[in-house]
């Protein structure tokens, strides 16, 4: 009997200790103290109803079992999305976009009440899809490529206006990729090739023109040189040349008369005539 009594008392003590442990755990889990870390904001819930205050970092108190806490990060985050849309010239465009944003700290209670923790899928994703489609439709496919920064700025401004009422502050956006249909990409490649060939042909034509102009310039210079030489040959210069030729002939004469003469009469040997006269 005594042992049975001791056993029952021991069992009750073990049950009491177990209950105490459970109570302590519940107090730690649902106790009156909670903390909010830096970069967070909290919403205090009373019987599940959200309060209107955005609770900042620090140590705070709540009523156990009656109140609970919902925490949100207000640090910068990134949301990536893919969107398909038609350009102004009806080309299908697949766009990958990154939205850099943060939650407005003062709007955390409203975000929890209206959107909950799934605010990204509930509002950022569909708004991004709508904005990308609206912006893409304003540009042709060529313009989307050449004016990428303009398109990104337009998407960013529209997202800022659309998401601000929900307490979501868009810091920036980035278009990470534009993809088009294969047929359009082939057409773009062919166009680029044609432009390159045209530029090469224009450069070749310009080179040929320059070479031709160089030849014309050279020919004109040579012709000008010949003309200048002809102008220098005057009548005085011709007479001077005659005198120089005659002087050279005199310098070569040995002092004897020519033995053979010609002209209107037949050629005669003067030595032979002299011999005949002596006989």
Residue predicted with more confidence, 133 or 88: 133
**How far is it, in rounded angstroms, from Cα 44 to Cα 55?**
8
Residue predicted with more confidence, 197 or 54: 54
Whole-number average pLDDT of the chain = 78
Q: What is the pLDDT of residue 206?
A: 82
Q: CA Rg, the chain, in Å?
A: 55
Which pLDDT band, with edges at 50, 70 and 90, does 126 fall under? very high
Least confident of 13-27, 35-49, 120-134: 13-27
Cα torsion 11, 13, 19, 22 to 10°: value is -100
Q: What is the pLDDT of residue 89?
A: 77
Answer whether 0.85 is exceeded by the pTM: no
Q: What is the pLDDT of residue 143?
A: 81
Tell me the per-residue pLDDT of 135-188, one tens digit each, with 9 for 90 and over.
888 888 778 878 888 888 999 999 999 999 999 999 999 888 777 665 565 656
**How far is it, in rounded angstroms, from Cα 231 to Cα 65?**
122
Q: What is the pLDDT of residue 107?
A: 95
What domains appear along the chain, each with residue ranges and CATH number? 2-72 (no CATH), 77-180 (3.30.479.30)
**How far is it, in rounded angstroms, from Cα 199 to Cα 30?**
76
Tell me the per-residue pLDDT of 254-278, one tens digit each, with 9 for 90 and over.
666 555 555 544 544 555 545 544 5
């Amino acid at each position: 009997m005594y042992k049975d009594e001791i056993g029952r008392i021991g069992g009750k003590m073990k049950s009491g200790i177990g209950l105490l442990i459970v109570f302590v755990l519940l107090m730690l889990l649902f106790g009156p103290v909670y903390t909010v870390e830096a970069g967070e904001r909290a919403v205090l819930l009373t019987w599940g109803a959200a309060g209107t205050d955005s609770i900042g970092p620090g140590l705070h108190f709540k009523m156990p079992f009656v109140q609970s806490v919902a925490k949100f990060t207000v640090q910068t985050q990134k949301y990536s999305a893919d969107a398909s849309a038609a350009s102004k010239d009806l080309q299908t465009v697949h766009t990958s976009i990154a939205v850099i944003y943060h939650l407005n700290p003062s709007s955390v209670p409203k975000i929890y009440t209206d959107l909950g923790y799934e605010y990204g899928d509930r509002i950022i994703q569909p708004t991004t899809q709508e904005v990308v489609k609206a912006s893409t439709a304003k540009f042709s496919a060529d313009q989307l490529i050449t004016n990428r920064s303009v398109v990104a700025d337009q998407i960013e401004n529209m997202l800022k206006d659309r998401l601000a009422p929900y307490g979501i502050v868009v810091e920036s956006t980035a278009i990470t990729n534009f993809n088009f249909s294969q047929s359009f990409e082939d057409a773009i490649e062919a166009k680029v090739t044609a432009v390159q060939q045209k530029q090469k042909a224009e450069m070749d034509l310009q080179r040929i023109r320059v070479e031709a102009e160089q030849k014309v310039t050279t020919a004109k210079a040579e012709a000008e040189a010949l003309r200048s030489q002809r102008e220098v040959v005057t009548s005085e210069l011709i007479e001077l040349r005659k005198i120089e030729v005659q002087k050279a002939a005199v310098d070569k004469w040995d002092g004897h008369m020519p033995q053979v003469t010609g002209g209107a009469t037949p050629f005669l040997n003067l030595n032979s005539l002299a011999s005949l006269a002596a006989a």
